[in-house]
Amino acid sequence: MNNSVPKIATRFKNHQKEIRDIWESFCIIEFYMPKVQECIKDDILPPLNVDLLFDSVIKTNSKGDTYGALHSLSVKSNYRRTLLESVLTFEDYISDLIEIVYLDYPQKLSVKDNDDSSVSGYQKLLKVILDSGSKDEIIDKVVEEKIRGIFYGNPLDVFEKDKAKLEFGTFFKDNCKEELKLFKSIIALRNIVAHNNGKVDRKYIREADKNATLGQTVQIERQFLKDAIYNLSLLSTYATSLVLENIYKTTAQGRLARQKSLFDRR
């Protein structure tokens, strides 16, 4: 068995735990925050002491300020944090999966020549690297740049067009049309939350919701969050299973097999 197979299995197991922990953290804040607020209101818990950021003093917030901060954490920050963290965790896992494959099969970094046999300067340089006798460090750097390019572009292409050459074929296009559609919305929403304070821009209208109002702040719904985390788990599960089957010529075992079976029944 290729040494990377158990490595992938362990990384997948850890990733799924991270995904579950993110959702559980959301639920903990959602469940307990109103109870904590009531304790503040009833003087059961003291107001917050704040270690001021730009001063070396401790400030005690008023009861109202403490209550308001907790409310903001519950109804705004919790939703944003959960969305951003779930996408970050997902992209981190897929990046690790791609890296493992590329380090095992560095030829996947290569781009096929055009019919006229012409190659770009990048392709020529890459060919020299791949043909060299001492290449590990150089390949590591090329892999890093390649992965960065994939996720700075359109992450949807990893699944829809197999941009990372993980041998997905047309699996996602044929079997996960709705999931890819939701994934596109998840990434679009993550982008405006991370880079535009949650306000709708033209790119969001074009890619996610053509009926959205330019400049309006998007409200993240609880069900959307739950569906998003479920969807990211599904995509990472199928991606891992396909990599093991098509590249490493083995089948899913353990946690991955159980997770895949769950999604197969959806």
* Assigned token pair, 174: 């044929």
Greatest distance between any 2 Cα atoms in the chain: 78
Q: What percent of the chain has pLDDT over 90?
A: 73
Q: 49-51 and 58-60: which strand pairing?
A: antiparallel
Report the distance separating Cα 99 and Cα 140, nearest Å: 9
Its pTM stands at 0.86
Q: How many CB atoms lie within 10 A of CB 78?
A: 21
Q: How many CA atoms lie within 13 A of 154 on its CB side?
A: 12
Indicate the pLDDT class of residue 53, thresholds 50, 70 and 90.
Answer: confident
Q: Where are the alpha helices (DSSP H) in 132-253?
A: 136-152, 156-160, 171-175, 177-195, 202-207, 222-246
Burial code of 212-225, b = ≥16 C-beta within 10 A, e = fewer?
beeeeebebeeebb
Based on the number of CB atoms within 10 Å of its own CB, is 199 exposed (0-12), middle (13-18) or buried (19 or more)?
A: middle
Contact between residue 242 and residue 170 where contact means Cβ atoms under 8 Å apart: no
Domain boundary assignment for the chain: 4-264
* Average of per-residue pLDDT values in the chain: 89
Report the distance separating Cα 181 and Cα 71, nearest Å: 32
194 CB contacts (<8 Å, ≥6 apart)? 84
* Assigned token pair, 62: 């008023």
pLDDT the model gives residue 221: 95
According to DSSP, residue 73 is labeled I
Mean pLDDT across 219-237: 97
Contact between residue 59 and residue 52 where contact means Cβ atoms under 8 Å apart: yes
Contact between residue 100 and residue 7 where contact means Cβ atoms under 8 Å apart: yes
pLDDT the model gives residue 150: 78
pLDDT the model gives residue 162: 94
Report the distance separating Cα 30 and Cα 20, nearest Å: 15
Mean pLDDT across 212-230: 96
Backbone angles phi, psi at 114, to 5 degrees: -70, 170
Closest CA to 164 of 115, 119, 124, 105: 105
pLDDT the model gives residue 113: 45
Closest CA to 266 of 178, 155, 185, 183: 178
